Chain A
Amino acid sequence: MKDIGQIWNDLANPKRIPRLFSVVLGLILIVGFFVPMALNDHQIYPRPLPQEQIDQENPLAPYDRGGVPLVEPGIVKAQYPQNSAKLGMVTGYLSPIAIGVKNTTRYYGTSIYSSPGGLIDEILYYTRGFDTILESAILMMAFVIASWVALNFTMRRRKD
């Protein structure tokens, strides 16, 4: 039987910390299997059922939100509609190239993010735009650190 001082000493070794953390996290996740999961039906960012638009043979499935650019807003909801007055106005915009591709295939929606002038995700860039800025900031900091370490610990390394 270890006394409490021995346990504190074991905790002071940095090598044990990731293991200890993973074990505790694993136990909590096992507890999660027994927690009743009750999803709320009134989601702020709703999606149509996954197969609904695909069954309708919509080429933009599953990302079709409807709407005519600058005329009629598409179906995009916001938590605070008063903060984003023009919501949904550009969500239906497709560039001429995108319209051309859309007319040739039924699977345009699945390649939506790699195509020029694809559907503009207004949740990502309008209502929750600050989150997107922060996400890119995290990525940028990771690259700053990695490139600094790579440069200064390899190419510019001095003998010391």
Chain B
Amino acid sequence: MDIATLGGQILGQIPLGDIVLYLTPFNLFMFAGALIFTTLIAISRTETQIEAEFGSLKDKKVKVDLEEFKIRRFLAIVCGLATAGAMITGDLFNFTLFVALIGIVNIGIVSAVKQVDVLNAAYQYGLVAMIASMPLFAGAALILGATGTLSLFQLSQTVTTPMMYFASLLLLMGIIGETGVAPFYATKAEMFRTPGSPFILIIHLSSLLIIIRAIEILLIINKPF
């Protein structure tokens, strides 16, 4: 499918050698949204949770200490920037690298917490993300083999072969695993239970934006309509 049909008129390009980032109104909106949210996170403080204790009348205050706050803010900013980059990239392999970066940073954001359940869920998510990196990069490699190019501008012009449908399926599988959407959502849902709200939210926002962008890229490659 044509890039201009999906995202609107191309407003400009940022050429970095073979990797050309392009700006359409659709991509630019998501790019700006990710950047604004990242800025908000960078200047905000974490929430504090109050947990009721079982068997007594006392409450327990769950706080994020300074060391943990610093590393989580850093990783959340990296995650936000990677999401913003994935929104405007015009190269398939570049996109998969951004997704892999988001996956590993998501594990890092929750790896600093002290709740055992959350760490357990993060470990399981790490396993899924590790397995998912294989179909993610294999999908991109198969598309390179089938078409001889990775640029989305070129891919929107080529004829779709059965091998490209299969490669798109693998790519989708990889993105589903890295972002943790249904039916593989349980690991990520458990990760949200920890305190430290704005940093947890970037995990959520990044998967939403990546899924939207992935659908756009799959439509560009496969041209179903």
Contact = CB atoms under 8 A, between A and B. Distances in A.
Chains A and B are bound partners: yes
B166 to A, nearest CB: 4
B163 A129 contact: no
B163 A25 contact: no
Contact of B94 (A11, A84, A134): A134
B16 A129 contact: yes
Contacts of B127: 18
A138 B26 CA distance: 27
B124 A18 contact: yes
A82 to B, nearest CB: 8
A78 B17 contact: yes
Given A14-B190, A38-B161, A144-B108, A152 B183 contact: no
B146 A39 contact: yes
B155 to A, nearest CB: 11
Contact of A135 (B18, B97, B128, B163): B97
Interface string A3-22: 00000000111111110111
A155 to B, nearest CB: 12
A84 B121 contact: no
Contacts, number: 150
A44 B148 contact: yes
Contacts of B19: 128, 130-131
Interface in B58-95: 67-68, 71, 74-75, 78, 91, 93-94
Interface size class of B (residues with CB under 8 A): 35 or more
Interface string A66-87: 0000000000001110011000
B131 A18 contact: yes
Contacts of A28: 135, 169-170, 173
Interface residues of A, number: 50
Interface string A97-141: 000000000000000000000000000001111110011011001
Interface stretch (A29-37, A57-65, A88-96): A29-37
Contacts of A49: none
Nearest to B126: A18
A143 to B, nearest CB: 10
A14 B163 contact: no
Contacts of A21: 128, 131-132, 177, 184
A78 B20 CA distance: 12
B150 A44 contact: yes
Contacts of B170: 28, 32
Given A78-B17, A134-B97, A149-B112, 12 more contacts: A11-B186, A14-B120, A14-B121, A17-B128, A21-B128, A38-B161, A39-B145, A40-B146, A79-B154, A80-B18, A137-B78, A145-B108
